[in-house]
Amino acid sequence: MAATDSIISARPTVVIHTHGCKLNQADSQVLARQFQEAGFTVVKSPSLADVMVLNSCTVTAASDSKARQYLRRARRANPDALVVATGCYAQRAKDDLSSMEAVSLVLDNRQKDRLVSTVATKLKIKERSSVETAPVALRSRAMVKIQEGCDQVCAYCIVPKVRGRERSIPPESIVAEIASRASTGCREAVLTGTQLGTYGFDSPGTDLRGLISRILAETTINRLRVSSLQAQEITPDLLDLWQDSRLCPHFHVPLQSGSNTILRSMRRRYDTARFAETVELVRERLPDAGITTDVIVGFPGEGVREFAESYSFAASVGFSDMHVFPYSIRPGTSAAHLNGQVVEGKKRERMGEMLELSATAAREFRRAALGQSRPVLWGPAKRQDPSGFWAGLTDNYLRVRAQSERDLGNTITSTRLIDIDGDWITGEVV
């Protein structure tokens, strides 16, 4: 394992690279603020960084491979830097990462809170005064963690082992963080966590509905988005909150499989009938809502019939986008011991079919949106390419780009959706 023990006299630089879910993105945003408060400058290029941090994912074997590849590239880009691995892969297989020559330091999820101080000590950096602290870079969207961990223990999922048991962050802390972000110009807060629907089970007198109500009442954030909910957690009472236009009409509802046989084997807490009822309820209340999902192909026991059921059900829903994953054996999960493991060739074949379905469904959703005018939150800066376009996101999670001489940075504008350009929609600011 590579090591760096040096005294850095100038303001040190750090790059933070994030793999995986929005919860990891939220953790990385917190790390960026903590580094800046400690006197570091956050940069984008590894070649310019004294410290390189990878906040890793371990949900699949491909995630692990991606992490190792990045760490090796980071070391090659800057042989003298301190290369730090953290996140879920570091939690699951700390010794494996520690043995990598490219890695200087490994801190698991439980050690994230002291990552910055550990790095500062390692580099012999003295604490900076508040006057010397660099300002936090403006972000249009803030990932705000509201809970951690999961108690559901689905058969395929390693998350309960790397994130621990469910625990809710106090609502006062969440409201204060969102109010603070709004006061510095942030336009959208995205509520993130492993299991949002059970938020507040460990805090008597509060739940997800109550938390959202408080955020809307007590902060001036322009937009609020809920990152993910299980089908059985979306109720008419919860959807009543979406009468407030500040709540984004976008619901990420993980399906995982459209076969009831496989859902039972996965130990999911719904069947396809319940899932379909949830989708119908959302569309009845919010006809233009974006509904995205996750689908796993090649789970143990998924034969030709079960895959056909899954494909047919996903097609019938008409998702606005689908994240498709091949099943990956995760040591420590019960699915790793199931019979009927699907061969890799079949997984790739089914993956291709499901991805084609996803692309078709996404195009249909974009096509149906043409002619509408929707609020678009534009990024803080114009894209630096020959076309010089502004990139933004609609409330229902469509990616939009537009040409404009106006400074659209970090603004929300009514935008007419006029054409499809690949995965983007071309917009015209109204």
Q: What is the mean pLDDT of the chain?
A: 92
Which residues lie closer than 8 Å to 204 by C-beta, 6 or more apart?
Answer: none
Mean pLDDT on 39-67? 92
Which pLDDT belongs to residue 138? Answer: 58
The confidence score (pLDDT) of residue 123 equals: 87
Q: Is the pLDDT of residue 134 over 50?
A: no
Residues 6+ apart with CB under 8 A from 78: 46, 47, 49, 52
For the cut 50, the answer to whether the pLDDT of residue 222 exceeds it is yes
Residue-wise pLDDT tens digits, 13-52: 999 999 988 899 999 999 999 999 999 999 988 888 999 9
pLDDT tens readout for residues 73-126: 999 988 999 999 999 999 999 999 999 999 999 999 989 999 999 999 988 765
Residue 231 has pLDDT above 90, yes or no: yes
Q: Given this model, what pLDDT does residue 139 score?
A: 77
Core vs surface per residue 166-195: b (16+ CB within 10 A) or e: bebbebeebbebbeebbeeebbbbbbbbbb
Q: Looking at the predicted structure, is the pLDDT value of residue 136 above 70?
A: no
pLDDT range class, residue 1, cuts 50, 70, 90: low
Q: Report the candidate in 4, 2, 1 with the shortest Cα–Cα distance to residue 119.
A: 4
Dihedral of the alpha carbons of 168, 155, 256, 195, in degrees to the nearest 10: 0
What is the pLDDT, as a whole number, of residue 388? 84
At 385 the pLDDT is: 64
- What is the Cα–Cα distance from 235 to 350, expressed in whole angstroms? 33
Phi/psi at 412 (5° precision) = -115, 120
pLDDT for res 204: 87
Lowest mean pLDDT among 57-61, 74-78, 121-125, 371-375: 121-125
Mean pLDDT along residues 334-339: 93
Instruction: State percent of the chain over pLDDT 90.
Output: 81
For residue 176, the number of C-alpha atoms closer than 13 Å in the C-beta half-sphere is 5
pLDDT (0 to 100) of residue 132? 43
Helix, strand, coil distribution of the chain in percent, nearest 5: 40, 20, 40
